[in-house]
Amino acid sequence: MTPSTTSVAELAELVAPGRVAVLSGAGLSTESGIPDYRGPTGRARRAEPMTYQRFVGSAEARRRYWARSHVGWRQIGAARPNAGHRAVAELERRGLLAGIVTQNVDGLHQAAGARRVIELHGGLDRVVCLSCRERTPRAELERRLREANPGWEASGRINPDGDAVLTDEQVAGFRVVGCAGCGGLLKPDVVFFGENVPRPRVDECFAVVGGARALLVLGSSLAIKSGLRFVTKAAGLGIPIAIVNQGPTGGDADATLTLDAPLGPTLTDLAAQL
């Protein structure tokens, strides 16, 4: 099949028979106030991402990361599902989805009521100790950081990764806390640049896509292999692919249907037509 610009009615025809795998990206969460990487809210952003190697190798890098993330979490943690997340959850409730693979770390699919969600890159709502591997809620860490930094206040532009742009002066003096159990280094339970997504998680995502009748990509530019590989897998299996995104994507050449449109209104319309 050749790519085409489609309508919501055509999209509904593809989704209606069910067993649809969803692959979602940052563009789905922009209407919740979370900026994306390469879409309309992200084009001007050039923040250098934290790498795993820098994080574990430098106490100063960890201080900067946690100070910035402590500020950014106020917005990320307060974000609420938008109409797009609610529409996806409704499609799942109706039994039309084979599963949801999300590149997002904001937990908004689950907050909207979706149940079968695979967080490809992990979730910012929890932290993991790099020594004992215990996972604890992010809210508990935020409480401990506030106690360790009484009177510390800072603000800055929020980045797509959930941290804020702060100056050296704002970061100076911020105190980082270790694991409450063993004192080890705490890291958000997300995949940093320089880390690999755990193989079992990747295999689970491939299984969802491979067992689907169609693949629906929502709000992802598919500019990196992390998400594009699932589109490539679907194309190789002859599975129809629909992409809804604002702007072109790296998967358009393999798509059966493409729709350049805002996610919230489009998915709400889709759910209504089904």
Q: Can you say which residues are annotated as belonging to the binding site for NAD(+)?
A: 25-45, 103-106, 219-221, 245-247, 263
Q: Which residue ranges make up the annotated binding site for Zn(2+)? A: 129, 132, 179, 182
Q: Quick check: helix, strand or coil at residue 168?
A: helix
Output the furthest CA–CA distance in the chain (Å, rounded). Answer: 60
* Dihedral of alpha carbons 50, 56, 58, 62, sign: positive
- Number of helices and strands (H, E) in the chain? 10, 9
Secondary element (H or E) of residue 81: none
CA–CA separation, 19 vs 40, rounded Å? 31
Look up residue 69 and give its amino acid: S
**DSSP helix/strand/coil, 104:** coil
Active site residues: 121
Give the span between the Cα atoms of 1 and 210, in whole angstroms: 18
Q: What string of DSSP letters covers 107-140?
A: -HHHHTT--SEEETTEEEEEEEETTT--EEEHHH
